Amino acid sequence: MNGVLVIDKPEGMTSHDVVHRVRKLLGERSVGHLGTLDPMATGVLPLVLGKLTRLAQFYTSAEKTYRGHIRFGFATTTYDADGEPTTPISSARPSLDEVCNLAPRFRGPIQQTPPPFSAKKIRGVPAYKLARIGKLAEDELKPTTVEIKEFNLLSMENDCVAFEARVASGTYMRSVAHEMGQWLGMGAHLASLRRTEVAEFALADAHRLEEFETAVKEGKDGELFVHPRRLLPALPPVTADDEGAGRIRAGRAVNLPELSRAPLVKVFYGQNELICIAERVAGTLFQPKCVFIRN
């Protein structure tokens, strides 16, 4: 069971909950995801299955796109709607112009402090585990450089502003909401978040868990997987012949009919079987870097 499946994660489930559900449905232990979504968040959660879990190393810096709402009036322990208030509830409300004037501070490379309830490792332990037992000191979460490539504020209704954002890996929209509240002096938190894209995967590729469960029961689950030729679109595709595929399966260097000068290529056997990511050695000689299928 080797493939990539995009799930539209529902609100209230952790990313691990989704992985566990898919493992149970397929009877496949090797299932991972390409970027955690918080329990309150919904949207694109790409899963890698079987031998294709090895693809995860090529997505560690994948860009992500979000839609959501920031609520002004009070901050919370988790920086989102799941947390408890940490500031008095204020009746003050910013105007859309005030929020838009603040937005440039959150575009481009910025210094951002991760939320205390996050997977950021502190002394080798996820911060949220230390925060739950009161063992996380305020100064232990250090600011890091992240990049927000696009951050557009769309509309204001009552105490919430709607936004769209495109961010580099490692960016927390919860921290953006929290810090905007600090700048405006009235507290704020992330009220909703929906991930619309991760790398080449979008909502149009995503399936509800109920839809996938039905497909499994009908023996049609493979029809919901992303076509292998769509994976890693920046890498040129090459098709190996029988001899070349045999060498690749054995982890040996192989000559491939590759006309570009790309340092990495994705190698197929036939139209649908992705067998490796290969690295150019010289000319048309490539060394398998990540083999997905072996003899």
The pLDDT of residue 138:
67
The pLDDT of residue 205:
97
The pLDDT of residue 98:
94
- pLDDT bucket at 119, cuts 50 / 70 / 90: confident
Q: Write the pLDDT tens digit of every residue in 195-213.
A: 999 999 999 999 999 999 9
Residues 170 and 95 in one domain: yes
Q: Catalytic: 241?
A: no
Residue with tokens 């260097």: 253
- pLDDT bucket at 75, cuts 50 / 70 / 90: very high
Residues 38 and 163 in one domain: no
The pLDDT of residue 100:
94
Residues 99 and 183 in one domain: yes
Its sign, for the CA torsion 265, 269, 270, 273, is negative
CATH number for position 25: 3.30.2350.10
For residue 93, pLDDT beyond 70 = yes
Residues 95 and 214 in one domain: no
Residues 158 and 32 in one domain: no
**Separation of alpha carbons 109 and 146, rounded Å:** 6
17-21: long-range contacts at Cβ-Cβ below 8 A with a sequence spacing of 24 or more? 18/45, 18/47, 18/209, 19/47, 21/209
Residue with tokens 């909703």: 192
Residues 82 and 165 in one domain: yes
Residues 108 and 162 in one domain: yes
Residues 117 and 187 in one domain: yes
Candidates 8, 38, 159, 221; catalytic one: 38
Q: Write the pLDDT tens digit of every residue in 228-249.
A: 999 999 999 999 999 999 999 8
Average pLDDT over residues 218-235: 95
As given in the structure block, the two tokens for residue 160 are: 């919430």
The pLDDT of residue 140:
73
Is residue 8 within 8 A of residue 207, CB to CB? The reply is yes
Comparing 67-71, 87-91, 223-227, which segment has the lowest mean pLDDT? 87-91
Q: Write the pLDDT tens digit of every residue in 127-181.
A: 767 777 676 666 677 889 999 999 999 999 999 999 999 999 999 999 999 999 9
The pLDDT of residue 135:
65
What does pLDDT average to over the chain?
A: 92
**Separation of alpha carbons 291 and 176, rounded Å:** 39
Residues 99 and 154 in one domain: yes
Q: Write the pLDDT tens digit of every residue in 246-280.
A: 999 898 999 988 778 899 999 999 889 999 999 99
Helices 15-26 and 209-217 meet at what angle, rounded to 10? 10
% residues pLDDT > 70 (the chain): 96
Is residue 261 within 8 A of residue 254, CB to CB? The reply is no
User: What's this model's pTM, rounded to 2 decimal places?
Assistant: 0.92
Q: What is the DSSP letter of 34?
A: S
For residue 294, pLDDT beyond 70 = no
The pLDDT of residue 139:
66
Residues 194 and 219 in one domain: no
Range of the domain at 21: 3-62+200-226
- pLDDT bucket at 226, cuts 50 / 70 / 90: very high
Instruction: Kindly state the helix (H) or strand (E) to which residue 254 belongs, with its residue range.
Output: strand 254-255
Higher local confidence (pLDDT), 286 or 119: 286
CATH number for position 272: 2.30.130.10
Burial class (CB in 10 A: 0-12, 13-18, 19+), 108: exposed
**How many folded domains does the chain comprise?**
3
Cross-strand bridge partners of residue 68:
163, 193
Residues 221 and 276 in one domain: no
Residues 178 and 206 in one domain: no
- pLDDT bucket at 105, cuts 50 / 70 / 90: very high
For residue 286, pLDDT beyond 90 = yes
Terminal CA-CA length for the chain: 16
